[in-house]
Amino acid sequence: MKMIVGGQWVDRKETIDVLNPYDGSVVDTVPRGTAADIDEAITLAVEGYQINRHLPAHERIAILKRTAAIMQDRFEELAVTIASEGSKTIREARKEVGRAINTITISAEEARRIDGETIPFDSAEGSENRVGYYYRFPIGVIGAITPFNDPLNLVAHKLGPAIAGGNAVVCKPATVTPLSALKLGECLLEAGLPGKILSIVTGHGHEIGDALVEDSRIRMISFTGGVEAGERIVRHAGLKKIGMELGSNSPVIVMADCDLDQAVESCVSGAFWAVGQNCIGVQRIYIERSVYDTFRDKFVARTKQYKVGRQLDEDTDMGPMITETEAKRVIEWVEEARSQGAELLTGGTREGSLVQPTVMEKMPEGAKLDCQEVFGPVVSLYPVDSLDEAVEKANAVDYGLLGAIFTSRLDNAFYAIEAMDVGGMIVNDSTDYRVDLMPFGGVKKSGLGREGIKFSLMEMTEPKMVCFNLPRRG
């Protein structure tokens, strides 16, 4: 498949194989883009910005709505692409396509709500004859860098708001999962998006990422990925806006008064969705001691029911990790924790890129699985004696994206809501719950700013203040 530079499909002699992570078979090839391709894409995007900023809002809305309709027509093709190049099962992939269609649809809806308000200048003494307002304007060219774990919907979360807000965008999708992004670009162009507004450049991050980040014509970097890459971007970006979602080590609290069966089912799904390669996936569960044994036994029993295998098989519950290298890393973390005293309840093995869903207990404080983001199908269980203890331990990491609590008591829920050091709290669902219109982001090393279409639009536009000094009459 070719890449998109200023709306044109472009090929290159050097290519990158896109591999199915289950068996290593070649799904397709894409061009190996260079810094020169990024430079050309940005040059065209500068022109594209001038086109999009002057498009009436109703035209942007119509383009995005047509895009969503085209995606709906190509629903199964998009799902198969996600499952073929990535880790998601075909059932998980279909849900991602549905979410991506929703993301583009909401972007169209929010394009009509980019408004401002009047300013009471006369509230300041000496400004009695001044009136005015502010409105929002697009900031220019957006540089979007997206990860492999949601190869369609996270691209939609960058492109949809950027286009709705009147910007141009240059996207660098994950090297291992570029096809879904290119197919979304194809849908946008088919829907009538003026070509220069959009580029999707494929290639290796170390070859084209810096060129995108460092270019002064890029006015904002919107990045989803790891902390180390995020810190590198901050060091190299220069004077531009930055929005980042950098992952987590998501904590869930289970109180004795909750519906344990609901908590088990929700947390198992939250831990092993997309093979745990999920920034809001459940990684640590703090269970009130009086129900710890019951919860643990139910959780392990439900985990053992998971079928792990080829992601395109309809009955597969959990597919492969994105690479065998990543699968090896996860098992290394498990073995390291076991050497420090952690106990394995189930899983802990792999075959190629397939890692069995893994549950552990007695996790020592400071182990990687305890305080870092595993980004794999591993969850740790911890008994606690009180909600205070659970909150204290939940907060004792450098991440803070989403947290969750299962409880039937409002006082427990509201205490956790206030005390948890996270960007969002989920009550009686796992941390894996998300709808695409909610503000999404975290604190500490989990990121900067918020996504969610309305909130991304605020990041991708700026307020312009207007003041009239009216002549006095009489």
DSSP 341-356: T-EEEE---EETTEE-
In angstroms, the Cα distances linking 354 to 226, 308, 328 are 22, 7, 10
* Active-site annotation, residues: 245, 279
CA distance 192 to 63: 6
First to last CA, the chain: 71
Close Cβ partners of 300 (under 8 Å, ≥ 6 residues apart)? 345, 346, 359
The number of beta carbons lying within 10 Å of the beta carbon of residue 382 is 22
In angstroms, how far is CA 143 from the centroid of its own chain? 15
CB distance 205 to 177 below 8 Å: no
- Beta bridge mates, 292: none
CB distance 167 to 462 below 8 Å: no
CA distance 351 to 330: 12
CB distance 23 to 84 below 8 Å: no
Strands 343-346, 358-361: pairing is: antiparallel
